[in-house]
Structure 1
């Protein structure tokens, strides 16, 4: 497990690997939540993602549910290296350690640890400022404003955040910046072409 450092900006995964970011949004009426998992490649491109609506008694439970969904998705990605990130420090600590979990989330933690062992997953905690993409998707889903094809046809606000993450890279990675930005822009442009074609 990566030590709980104050990581404040999203970072691209190592070449050939993927990152899955998790988040959850509680619905206003309570007792229900939307968990979100967002998959991105080493160029910062959005490659996959899912949202799930479920009964939930707390934000903490919801965060763990999102991490479990991320683990299940990572399990289906064969032998590709995967890192799972969340802005909930306690959820990441329990997922990556052997600490005895609270009884109310015990089944969730056991599922997460089982997949972690099977797939040798890495878990990272970072600040919410580095999790803006997943947070935005969760917010849109909770408000019922997220289309079913949001991965292929991402809303403009989401594309903007994806670009921001790619641009906000450490100086040592600046040489890769132009290609990454162009890749994200091309992916977004293709989405817009498909969208306009559909409406035509």
Structure 2
């Protein structure tokens, strides 16, 4: 407007200039806000994709556990997938169960992993679950009312192994156990799933 006033001899309207500047400012702010949201969404998406299965340390084995549960039928399926530090599938187990909650089903999967490790003399075992309250309860040796008896079993069984640890992983890092449990619940799990490469 200043250039118009100097070079074209126009008489600028200060109120119109202020209104136009405020409109432009709000448009710029809106564009910047959208760009920031887009950047955050991309970062979230990239971090989700970068979460994968991590190998256990040294000679340890890792048992990823998960459960699928249907509240309407009170039926579920548990999955245990045991791999070495190169990611090679050593063994696994899946079974249908009847239970009263998804937390109870996840706790059953963890208990089953310990039983499997003891029966197969797997002494150094890291058990990984995407159920954070369950992992926290086991690590802190506290009890959650609805699964107290299962948690007591888990802690007792863990003492039978010379080295046993429990870790939490986001669902994206527990995909194989999640898929095995869901397929088992849906009756779609292939008989030879233990002999196939897992991703």
TM over 0.5: yes
* 1:124 aligned onto 2:167: yes
Q: Which runs of 5+ in 2 are unaligned?
A: 1-47
Task: Say how many residue pairs are matched.
Answer: 150
Moved more, 45-54 or 71-80: 71-80
CA distance in 2, matches of 1:98, 1:13: 22
**Larger Rg over CA atoms:** 2
Q: Which residue pairs with 2:89 in the alignment? A: 46
Q: 1:21 aligns with which of 47, 51, 64?
A: 64
What is the TM-score with the length of structure 1 in the denominator?
0.69
The CA deviation string for residues 138-197 of structure 1, in whole angstroms up to 9 with x for no partner, is: 111111111222102x3xxxx4x52xxxxxxxxxxxxxxxxxxxxxxxxxxxxxxxxxxx
* 1:69 aligned onto 2:119: no
Map of 1:86-105 to 2, 5 A cutoff?
A: 86-99=129-142, 101-105=143-147
CA distance in 1, matches of 2:70, 2:145: 24
Partners of 1:61 and 1:105 within 8 A in 2? yes
RMSD of equivalent CA atoms: 2.0
What is the TM-score with the length of structure 2 in the denominator?
0.69
Q: Which runs of 5+ in 1 are unaligned?
A: 1-5, 163-200
* 1:110 aligned onto 2:152: yes
Give, in angstroms, the shift of residue 117 of structure 1. 1.9
Give, in angstroms, the shift of residue 59 of structure 1. 0.6
Sort the Cα spacing of 1:33 and 1:79 in 2 relative to 1 into closer, same or farther, 3 A. closer
